[in-house]
Structure 1
Amino acid sequence: MTAVPSLRLTPLTDAVGAEVHDVDLAAELDDGLFAAIERAFLDHGLLLFRGQSLTPERHVALSRRFGGLEHHVQKRFLYPGHPEILVIGNDHAPDGTPTGYFIPGDGDWHTDMSYVARPSLGSLFHAVKVPPEGGDTVFAGATAAYDRLSDADKERLAPLRAVHDYPYFDAKMCATNPRRTPLDDEQRARVPPVAHPILRTHPVTGRKAIYLSPEVISGVVGMEDSAGRALCQELADYATSEPFLYRHRWRAGDLVIWDNRCTLHKATPYDHHRHVRTMHRTTVSGDVPY
């Protein structure tokens, strides 16, 4: 039986996250060390590794240790030769073509790929280029938020299922950004609306968390659409309030791994007219929420 070594960890907040010290992710990880990392990931919901020099090949190989990998629906922003990596950022090729999926940093809270039937287990986000200021990512511990709900609210919310709808989200984005290319018919067919429980049970730890992506939710099953969206936004506002937050200020070389089953996150703005921000994200396949 492989021994599981201890890791040197520093908690980031009481609600979510820990920094892992003295681990070089560019090197091959033996089974014992990876088991320790995976245990810490489950315990804390988010792990930070500073100063990592990861090639795309190594990024993908490390990500595969957590499970199968997804290919994002925005195909034109997948890393050449490594379609498991979504390039996020505002950089451009010499001919002016965008090379990254641009997120302006003023969007809503979400959990990655909640709009598919088997949402992602987690994401591994590697900072390639970071602006001198701004462009932080804020995370919320959705398990801690659930734990502090009243028993009455837990009972009221338990049977509810929110409709996660990427075409609905894309239409909203196109309405506010005329430069955005809308989904084509093939892309829309790949991501039909899907309903997931608002209170999700973690398949490994058994702990419950608030599971919402307000920006892609078109309604709640059994409720009028606007009322369902209002309920989800109210609950998300609670789950992303100050007691449950960790704000990450990126440095080049950071790798952050977060558990999409029990955290929410959002980007914050930066001066994208003056500065370049380029991040590489892999997304680990998950399971059907319950």
Structure 2
Amino acid sequence: MTSLTQLSQAIHDAPRWHQPEQFQNSDEIKIIPQDHAALGAIVYGLDARKAQSGETIYKLKQALAQHLVLIFKQQTLDDLQYLAFATYFGAIFRPSADTPVLASQQENGVPPDVVPVSNAVGQGDYTGHGELTPHADHQWTPLPSFGSLLYAIELPKDGGKTSWINTIKAYDALDEETKAEIDQLQLITYNPFVRRQKTKDLNESNGYGESPLYRFKDQPILSHAYPHPLVRIHPESGRKALWLNTHTEVELVNYDDQAGSALIAKLRAHIQKPEFRYEHDWQIGDVVFWDNQATLHSRQPFPADQRRLLKRISLAGSRPF
């Protein structure tokens, strides 16, 4: 079954409003912001297997724009049910074949709709068991994903927690001089998967391989370059976000090498301050939905002999502005 067929089947099989027993009562759903957290809200009472009303989806979209991370508890989903729920919020992210991302398939260059973020299932595993440093998914593509959902199926006893960083709060906390300096800058984030393919230097424990933090003009360009704003505007809230990951190779456009490298290092240190961060302690059945336009996420390492299986769906986005 191809990805397209799987998605079509999910929509075909999705519950309909004319089946009362499969319809979610929107009055049952409560959205509770996390206490003393930089971002995130827990959604209680929602069953993602059911048909959802326009009122519910609108409420959830508003909550996502406000809180940036939504946590749905105690879900029990197969892949088709998971896809049907995710596509209430947008189309599935499908990059072009010449822009590799996590889980891009050899035959067509496109990732599956549902990606196993796992060390547990054998063929088709992705990301291994090591640390994943703070990043925004697909930041190096021309049209980065707007958001992703991650569904916990198997969890290790030790480690493996995921953290999110609120890059709106990180931007807001900058001094006015720095804001004025960076507001109109363009940033290229180079594709780490192209570097992996060309250098054959993959570190299996973290899924990314080694990479320089900044590209100087005398260094080779290994991938297509898509400049995006260093400070992007959230398309729904209108708020500014500092859109920069912490470890992928980047370059400021039309900027001095030494000054650019120093500025990026300064901003990366700022982003990682604990006051912008929320750490999620996973439970089986959690579905976490995050806004990829104004957050970074990372993962703690966990023992290689402990199984971890989560499934990710990414949703299509637009050109950052």
Corresponding residue of 2:276: 244
Q: Is the 8 A contact 2:105 2:112 kept in 1?
A: no
Partner Cα distance (2:63, 2:87) in 1? 17
Q: Is the 8 A contact 2:144 2:317 kept in 1?
A: yes
1:86-165 paired onto structure 2 within 5 Å = 86-93=115-122, 98-165=123-190
Q: Secondary structure at the match of 2:153?
A: strand
- Change in Cα spacing, 1:169 to 1:262, as seen in structure 2 (3 Å) is farther
- Change in Cα spacing, 1:173 to 1:140, as seen in structure 2 (3 Å) is farther
Which structure is larger by alpha-carbon Rg, 1 or 2? 2
Corresponding residue of 2:60: 37
Partner Cα distance (1:217, 1:281) in 2? 24
Equivalenced residue count is: 272
1:51 aligns with 2:74: yes
The match for 2:41 among 2, 5, 18 is 18
Q: CA deviation at 1:228?
A: 3.2
Q: Is the 8 A contact 1:7 1:37 kept in 2?
A: no
Q: Is the 8 A contact 1:104 1:270 kept in 2?
A: yes
The match for 2:113 among 63, 70, 84 is 84
Q: CA deviation at 1:9?
A: 2.5
Counterpart residue type for residue 11 of structure 1 = P
Corresponding residue of 2:301: 269
1:204 aligns with 2:240: no
Q: Is the 8 A contact 1:162 1:217 kept in 2?
A: no
Q: Which runs of 5+ in 1 are unaligned?
A: 183-190
Q: Secondary structure at the match of 1:138?
A: strand
Partner Cα distance (2:128, 2:229) in 1? 27
CA RMSD of aligned residues (A): 2.8
Partner Cα distance (1:245, 1:170) in 2? 29
1:8 aligns with 2:30: yes
1:21-42 deviation per Cα after TM superposition (whole angstroms, max 9, x unaligned): 1111121111111111111111
The match for 2:92 among 66, 69, 80 is 69
Moved more, 84-93 or 28-37: 84-93
Partner Cα distance (1:48, 1:252) in 2? 12
- Change in Cα spacing, 1:173 to 1:102, as seen in structure 2 (3 Å) is farther
Q: Is the 8 A contact 1:218 1:225 kept in 2?
A: no
1:133-173 deviation per Cα after TM superposition (whole angstroms, max 9, x unaligned): 21000111111111111111110111211111115653698
Counterpart residue type for residue 131 of structure 1 = P
Counterpart residue type for residue 68 of structure 1 = A
Q: Which runs of 5+ in 2 are unaligned?
A: 1-25, 96-100, 210-222
Q: Is the 8 A contact 2:170 2:271 kept in 1?
A: yes
Counterpart residue type for residue 234 of structure 2 = H
Counterpart residue type for residue 31 of structure 2 = L
Q: Is the 8 A contact 1:200 1:208 kept in 2?
A: yes
* Identity percentage of aligned residues: 28
1:177 aligns with 2:177: no
Q: CA deviation at 1:5?
A: 5.7
